[in-house]
Structure formats: C-alpha cells, structure tokens
Amino acid sequence: MKRVRLTVNGMQRHVVADDALTLLDLLHDGLHLTGTKQLSCSPPRCSHPYA
C-alpha cells in the first residue's frame, strides 16, 4: 500500500492505494469519480496505467 497524492480537477486529493490498483480504479472506486469509465479488458491483456 502506498500513499498517493493527486491533483484531480484542480483539487489535491490523498488516498492510500494498493500497488496493483489501476489509475482508473483509483479514480472511479477510490475517489468516487463515477464519470470515469471502466474498461472492457483487464490486465495483463490491456496496458493501462497503474497507480
């Protein structure tokens, strides 16, 4: 687990995230930014960024 600091929509956010969490999942599930869309594929088949 790592403490992550992000600037999202001009606001600083802090969250503790698992090393295997994708950036998409962090935004959607961790920060409850439901406008982010889930991908139809999953690692390792897709190469989307990890947080």
The residue assigned the tokens 């991908």 is: 39
How far is residue 10's CA from residue 18's CA, in Å, rounded to a whole number?
A: 24
Flag whether 33 is in a domain: yes
Flag whether 45 is in a domain: no
Owning domain of residue 5: 1-38
Of 45, 49, 47, 40, nearest to 17 (Cα)? 49
Flag whether 43 is in a domain: no
- Number of Cβ within 10 Å of residue 4's Cβ equals 15
Flag whether 44 is in a domain: no
> Which pLDDT band holds residue 50 (cuts at 50, 70, 90)?
low
Flag whether 46 is in a domain: no
- Number of Cβ within 10 Å of residue 22's Cβ equals 19
Element containing residue 25 per DSSP (H, E) = helix 23-25
Count of structural domains within the chain: 1
Q: What's the whole-number average pLDDT of the chain?
A: 80
Flag whether 17 is in a domain: yes
pTM across the whole model = 0.64
Flag whether 22 is in a domain: yes
